[in-house]
């Protein structure tokens, strides 16, 4: 056998090997691989991937149960082609599969994609290269007169389902009448926490982050009072002053923007 023919044969065996690993029911194993060894490779690969993803999506895993979870992982193997070889990013690949490629199954929980996204956010924040560095802001700055700085590790999220409450014993079949708004964030101790927020807090964080806002905390609160058509804007500012302080205490706000020079 010529070197080129040998290389082509090896490539063909590799393709057949991986195709069978992905979809053993539809793709035959390579003829020159011992069936016992092929079974070991097949089971190890599936079980390792399943175990790794179940650690990243523990609540979804428990809600689905082992049979539906195994079916999901098998579908993921068959249909999805990952764009990264990095294990910490596999969760993002599963989210891409669920949101873009997988057809909804009749026995899927209606909250499946949202719960998966919520669980992925925790891992994404844990592995994020962003830092809530102290040089980004003055931690003692005046949040009303200064320009508050939102932590790059604070994600402002909305879901149709109360994803932070879902578990094996609570699996809602219909969305709540009102969306669930959450801030999921990583503090300086590298702990990921969440805070359920209302529309006012969500709007405040949006205003502070819009195009690297140049507005002071007071200006943002006055904007919210105007949008609400509140008859007593001073009360909105009073409430918002305490809210800003609480967001800083939680490290969702880092402080105020440092002046250049």
Mean pLDDT over all residues of the chain?
Answer: 88
Low-confidence ranges of the chain (pLDDT < 50): 261
pTM: 0.87
- 237-255 per-position pLDDT tens digit: 999 999 999 999 999 999 9
Of the candidates 51, 22, 17, 19, the residue with the CA atom closest to the CA atom of residue 37: 17
Cβ partners under 8 Å of residue 34, min gap 6: none
pLDDT number for residue 14: 73
Residue ranges per structural domain of the chain = 3-108, 134-256
Smallest CA-to-CA distance from 246 within 130, 143, 132 is with: 143
Task: Note the pLDDT tens digit of each residue in 29-44.
Answer: 777 778 888 888 888 9
Q: In the prediction, which pLDDT does 261 show? A: 46
Radius of gyration of the chain (CA): 25
What is the CATH class of 134-256? alpha beta
């Amino acid at each position: 056998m010529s070197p080129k023919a040998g290389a082509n044969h090896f490539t063909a065996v590799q393709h057949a090997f991986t195709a069978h690993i992905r979809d053993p029911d539809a793709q035959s194993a390579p003829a020159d691989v011992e069936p016992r060894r092929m079974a070991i490779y097949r089971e190890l690969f599936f079980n390792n991937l399943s175990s790794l993803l179940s650690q990243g999506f523990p609540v979804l895993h428990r809600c689905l149960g082992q049979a539906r979870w195994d079916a999901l992982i098998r579908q993921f193997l068959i249909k999805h082609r990952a764009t990264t070889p990095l294990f910490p990013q596999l969760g993002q690949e599963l989210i891409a599969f669920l949101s873009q490629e997988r057809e909804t199954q009749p026995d899927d929980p209606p909250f499946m994609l949202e719960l998966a996204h919520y669980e992925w956010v925790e891992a994404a924040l844990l592995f994020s290269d962003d830092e809530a560095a102290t040089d980004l802001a003055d931690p003692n700055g005046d949040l009303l007169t200064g320009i508050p700085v939102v932590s790059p590790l604070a994600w402002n999220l909305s879901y149709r389902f109360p994803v932070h409450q879902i578990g094996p014993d609570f699996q809602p079949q219909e969305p709540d009448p009102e969306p669930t708004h959450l801030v999921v964030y990583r503090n300086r101790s590298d702990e990921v926490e969440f805070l359920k927020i209302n529309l006012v807090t969500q709007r405040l964080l949006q205003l502070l982050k819009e195009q690297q806002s140049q507005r002071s905390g007071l200006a943002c609160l006055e904007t919210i009072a105007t949008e609400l058509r509140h008859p007593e804007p001073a009360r909105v500012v009073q409430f918002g002053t305490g809210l800003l302080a609480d967001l800083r205490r939680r490290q969702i706000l880092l402080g105020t923007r440092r002046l250049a020079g």
